[in-house]
Amino acid sequence: MLATASSMVVDAPAPALEAAAAFFAANGVITQRRVYSVKATLNHPDGFEVVVKAKLFRLPAGTVLEFRRRTGDGLLFAQVFQLFQAYIDGGAPEPPRFAIGQLVRPVRPLRPTLRASPSPDVWIPPMELPALVEVAEPTEEVSGI
């Protein structure tokens, strides 16, 4: 079963929540903003959607930023938390954006391929295919239709 909540200890609560809001805005629509939380609907270009809420909690061990999946795809939620954690740890100036193929590999369409003859000196004779259905010739003209 995929997780519905993931959390991390943060040293600076306000910047961490602002980073979560920036990440959510870059990848979806913020639907609710409070003093200690932000909620957003995130749409992935691979066709998945998830509603995530980021909330700050003060615990004896420190301040915790929790991501909770409200509804939507669990696989996308795991990807969201992973990307956000890399964004926070890496200190990138811009939040990462979702990309096609992160969750589902793009499927290449099946196309028939024509191969050239192995050598220009090789002659391939034309093929004649027999008719699959015989069509009768009309015997009389129909009028009045």
Q: Tell me: the pLDDT tens digits for 24-58?
A: 999 999 999 999 999 999 999 888 999 999 999 99
Query: Are residues 65 and 7 in contact, defined by beta-carbon separation less than 8 angstroms?
Result: yes
Distance CA 87, CA 140 (A): 79
Query: Are residues 59 and 4 in contact, defined by beta-carbon separation less than 8 angstroms?
Result: no
Length of the chain: 145
Q: Tell me: the pLDDT tens digits for 89-113?
A: 887 888 989 888 888 776 666 565 5
Q: Give the residue, 129 or 117, on which the prediction is more confident.
A: 129
Average pLDDT of every residue of the chain: 83
**Could you tell me the pLDDT band of residue 20, with boundaries at 50, 70 and 90?**
very high
| Domains, the chain | 5-90 (3.30.310.80)
Reply yes or no on whether the pLDDT at 1 is more than 70.
Answer: no
Reply yes or no on whether the pLDDT at 87 is more than 80.
Answer: yes
What integer is the mean pLDDT of 56-63?
Answer: 90
- Is this model's pTM higher than 0.75 or not? no
The rounded percent of the chain whose pLDDT value lies above 90 is: 47
Residue 26: strand, helix, or coil: helix
Looking at residue 104, its pLDDT comes to 79
Residue 96: strand, helix, or coil: coil
Looking at residue 100, its pLDDT comes to 86
